[in-house]
Chain A
Amino acid sequence: MNEPVAPNSFRTGPDEQGMFGIFGGRFVAETLMPLILDLEKHWNAAKNDPAFDAELKHLATHYTGRPSPLYFAERLTEHLGGAKVYLKRDELNHTGSHKINNCLGQILLAKRMGKTRIIAETGAGQHGVAAATVAARFGLPCIVYMGATDVERQAPNVFRMKLLGAEVRPVTSGHGTLKDAMNEALRDWVTNVEDTYYLIGTAAGPHPYPELVRDFQCVIGKETREQMLAAEGRLPDMLVAALGGGSNAIGLFHPFLDEKDVAIVGVEAGGKGLQGEEHCASLAVGKPGVLHGNRTYLLQNEDGQIKDGHSISAGLDYPGIGPEHSWLKETGRAEYVAIQDQEALEAFQLLTRLEGIIPALEPSHALAEVMKRAPKMDKDRIIVVNLSGRGDKDIFSVAKHLGMDI
């Protein structure tokens, strides 16, 4: 918090209008505006309230299990033969991914605002599970909107949410994926403005969501910084993280944005290749547009209609991206690349065999990029990759892709 702010700091956004350059903003129906302004007011009070911070820290320690380890992947490093690879192990968190960091922060905010009903959207179900978990922990009813297609392909997470007491509402509009679930959650919110808190799952949506989700996820980067200084006595040379909406990535990146010697690489889902339609690489091949309350890079056609993405990983299956990433791309501070389904599958298997860690398919994309870069880097260089989720949820779809029966 006491770091000097350089005149050209990358860490001061968003501005008062919720903009990161031309990205972000508050593109919502009038019905929601008073709610969003109210949320902003409560958020500004909460983030300056030591009691709020103390409660969140307590839960992070005793409920989530933070700090998550920063683990030197010795055998992976040896195998790749170049830069040292560290894994930030947010997959060890309670509920199995980084999503819990954000959910705990937001449920405390909801409680503070006196809201009595939680709604959330989910793609792969990781955010849905985390939201259902904190709703159970705080005794609030929770409704999770999930695309009907995703409900089918993520059956174990659907069951988990139900066990946790949440109601899972399959969304059949559109193509029944994350984007449609988000539309439906927004429709619910417009209808139930009085009592409902929308617990959004990624660093996107109308201001102040991109900021507050980022701030709740920044625990990842802050810990990484301290742990790296303790382990190596210096900062890493490169950070790598996968992006769907981009919350785990911004959480790792943000505390390092003004460290100009730290290279930052975000990895999008390249699906079956960027030439066709079957990918989710909105930064690589999309263009700026307005969806779900913010301006950001979107996959869309020449008429401004939003396309459906494709990824082997349901968690990356979103045609947009958090607005701060769009801004980091435009300013050149971060580099964004795409990894294809097949490459992610290979990385998934490699980490499992070499380190005994089964990663989720989402961070497998980041690992695949590390597999490309580490061998070309000197052995005294250091890469940190955010292992944002564990792969237990993915074993069924991986088995299918590998042609195995379980």
Chain B
Amino acid sequence: MTDTTRIDRLFKILKAENRPALVTYFMGGDPDYETSLSVMKTLPRAGSDIIELGMPFSDPMADGPAIQAAGLRALKGGQTLARTLEMARAFREEDDHTPIVMMGYYNPIYIYGVERFLADAKAAGIDGLIIVDLPPEMDEELCLPALHAGINFIRLATPTTNDARLPKVLENTSGFVYYVSMTGITGSALPDTSKVSEAVARIKGHTDLPVCVGFGVKTASQARVIGAAADGVVVGTAIVNAVANVLGPDGQTTADPAEAVATLVRGLAEGVREARVAVE
């Protein structure tokens, strides 16, 4: 199967430290390439452990209004899949240890060409992929070629993924499992946290992979609660909103987006670091 990736190595370290990972999503190219690259660079400095690099798509059918808008801003700013890969390459020039997971939809990759994409992604230092519209039934499209190329394919499990289906979802998953803590689009309200820990325990009954939980986490205290039960806390919409909040009506920045994101992420990172302490 896959060689050990930066993701595998990170979770080993965090396990020894007994703390969950902070996984941060941002939209590549929002609102433009340079600004977005500075946001990316600030994430690990502010305490993010894993970066999810959003690939904009014109029709993000599982995303809420915030990420839809971010994707459209990025596309308007000239972002393409080639430029998103370029962004990862530029980031890697100064950071060779923070895992990068590219997240988005299949069509831009399909059009780019699967083999060419995997080769370029590997060369750019990409560690994993989350492709929203490729369920296990479609594994031959990209999941199996990615595993073959040494890139983790991270699958989403949801409240609708019952025990009968979990083994199929987990079969070719590597890196970590991304548990979407509710049905619905990104950015919706956070559900009952006790249900989240139940669900994490249920998934862990089927796999040794780390389980990260996302959808709806916005504040440090939420991150702390989720982090007590999960191996990682994913924050997306809140970060995308932090960028959007410093954009004027024409998309010009009214303050530094990287600084706005850094402030948010520093708080979240503290929350995550207190997670296990808080319960003990």
Q: Which residues of A contact B (CB under 8 A)?
A: 17, 25-35, 173-174, 179, 182-183, 186-187, 190-193, 287, 289-293, 295, 298, 300, 302-306
Q: Which of B59, B109, B137, B159 contacts A33 (CB 8 A)?
A: B137
* Residues of B with C-beta under 8 A to A27: 106, 133-135, 138
A191-B188, A300-B107, A304-B107 are known contacts. Are A31 and B62 too (CB-CB below 8 A)? yes
Q: Which residues of B contact A (CB under 8 A)?
A: 57-65, 68, 72, 75, 80-82, 105-112, 132-138, 155-162, 165, 169, 180, 183-185, 188
- The reply to whether B107 and A193 contact each other, CB–CB distance below 8 Å, is no
* Residues of B with C-beta under 8 A to A186: 61-62
A190-B184, A300-B107 are known contacts. Are A179 and B59 too (CB-CB below 8 A)? yes
* Residues of B with C-beta under 8 A to A298: 107
> Nearest chain-A residue to B168 (Cβ)?
A33
Q: Which of B109, B162, B184 contacts A191 (CB 8 A)?
A: B184
Q: How far is the CA of A187 from the CA of B135 in the complex (A)?
A: 17
Q: How far is the CA of A173 from the CA of B66 in the complex (A)?
A: 11
- The reply to whether B107 and A306 contact each other, CB–CB distance below 8 Å, is yes
Q: How far is the CA of A304 from the CA of B71 in the complex (A)?
A: 14
Q: How far is the CA of A173 from the CA of B60 in the complex (A)?
A: 11
7 residue pairs, one from A and one from B, having the closest CB atoms: A304-B111, A304-B108, A191-B184, A305-B58, A303-B80, A31-B158, A186-B61
Q: How far is the CB of A227 from chain B (nearest CB, A)?
A: 40
* Residues of A with C-beta under 8 A to B138: 25-27
A17-B137, A187-B185, A190-B183 are known contacts. Are A291 and B107 too (CB-CB below 8 A)? yes
Q: How far is the CA of A186 from the CA of B63 in the complex (A)?
A: 10
Q: How far is the CB of A304 from chain B (nearest CB, A)?
A: 3
- The reply to whether B80 and A29 contact each other, CB–CB distance below 8 Å, is no
* Residues of A with C-beta under 8 A to B158: 29-31
Which one of B59, B105, B136, B138 has the greatest number of beta carbons of chain A within 10 Å? B59
> Nearest chain-B residue to A298 (Cβ)?
B107
* Residues of A with C-beta under 8 A to B161: 30, 33-34
Q: How far is the CA of A290 from the CA of B60 in the complex (A)?
A: 12
* Residues of B with C-beta under 8 A to A190: 61-62, 183-185
* Residues of B with C-beta under 8 A to A293: 133
Q: How far is the CB of A371 from chain B (nearest CB, A)?
A: 35
- The reply to whether B156 and A29 contact each other, CB–CB distance below 8 Å, is yes
A and B contact pairs by CB, cutoff 8 A, 10 listed: A29-B133, A30-B135, A31-B158, A33-B135, A174-B72, A187-B62, A190-B61, A192-B183, A290-B133, A303-B112
Q: How far is the CB of A278 from chain B (nearest CB, A)?
A: 18
- The reply to whether A31 and B160 contact each other, CB–CB distance below 8 Å, is yes
> Nearest chain-A residue to B64 (Cβ)?
A187
- The reply to whether B61 and A304 contact each other, CB–CB distance below 8 Å, is no
Q: How far is the CB of B89 from chain A (nearest CB, A)?
A: 18
- The reply to whether A34 and B160 contact each other, CB–CB distance below 8 Å, is yes
A31-B183, A289-B110, A304-B112 are known contacts. Are A193 and B61 too (CB-CB below 8 A)? no
* Residues of A with C-beta under 8 A to B108: 303-305
Q: How far is the CA of A29 from the CA of B80 in the complex (A)?
A: 22
A30-B169, A289-B107, A303-B108 are known contacts. Are A35 and B133 too (CB-CB below 8 A)? no
- The reply to whether B183 and A30 contact each other, CB–CB distance below 8 Å, is no
A35-B160, A303-B80, A303-B81 are known contacts. Are A30 and B68 too (CB-CB below 8 A)? no
* Residues of B with C-beta under 8 A to A291: 59, 107
Q: How far is the CA of A291 from the CA of B110 in the complex (A)?
A: 11
Q: How far is the CB of B29 from chain A (nearest CB, A)?
A: 11
Q: How far is the CA of A232 from the CA of B278 in the complex (A)?
A: 83
Q: How far is the CA of A290 from the CA of B132 in the complex (A)?
A: 12
Q: How far is the CA of A295 from the CA of B180 in the complex (A)?
A: 25
- The reply to whether B107 and A29 contact each other, CB–CB distance below 8 Å, is no
* Residues of B with C-beta under 8 A to A17: 137
- The reply to whether B65 and A173 contact each other, CB–CB distance below 8 Å, is yes
Q: How far is the CA of A50 from the CA of B65 in the complex (A)?
A: 45
Q: Which of B60, B75, B180 contacts A31 (CB 8 A)?
A: B180
Which one of B64, B137, B155, B161 has the greatest number of beta carbons of chain A within 10 Å? B137
- The reply to whether B157 and A30 contact each other, CB–CB distance below 8 Å, is yes
Q: How far is the CA of A344 from the CA of B1 in the complex (A)?
A: 57
Q: How far is the CA of A203 from the CA of B92 in the complex (A)?
A: 45
Q: How far is the CA of A145 from the CA of B63 in the complex (A)?
A: 16
A173-B68, A295-B110, A303-B80 known, 12 other contacts, Cβ within 8 Å: A26-B135, A27-B133, A29-B62, A31-B159, A31-B183, A33-B160, A34-B165, A174-B72, A187-B63, A193-B160, A292-B59, A303-B108
A17-B137, A30-B158, A303-B80 are known contacts. Are A289 and B62 too (CB-CB below 8 A)? no
Q: How far is the CB of B84 from chain A (nearest CB, A)?
A: 10
